[in-house]
Amino acid sequence: MPLRLRKFIGMILLVLLVVIYAIVAMIVAVRTLGDQPGWVHFLYFLFSGMIWVLPAMGIIKWMAGPRPQ
């Protein structure tokens, strides 16, 4: 697969990942954190704000293509 096409597909996947992840994280927060104290909200958003990086790293590595040998 050409590198330009791989990067284009990866860009679309990254945008979809961020949008879908943000919506899911928001729905989970609204349904579960309503009565919780502020520190629980802080921890939830701290961890949920960092977790999306893991799948994004996989997409970015795929976009870069195989390592030259």
pLDDT in tens, 12-42: 999 999 999 999 999 999 999 888 999 999 9
Higher pLDDT, 48 or 68: 48
Q: Are 62 and 10 in contact, with CB atoms under 8 Å apart?
A: yes
The 10s digit of each residue's pLDDT in 1-13 is 888 899 999 999 9
Locus of tokens 């330009």: 4
Its sign, for the CA torsion 33, 16, 14, 69, is positive
The pLDDT tens digits of the residues spanning 57-68 come to 999 999 988 766
User: What's the whole-model pTM score?
Assistant: 0.79
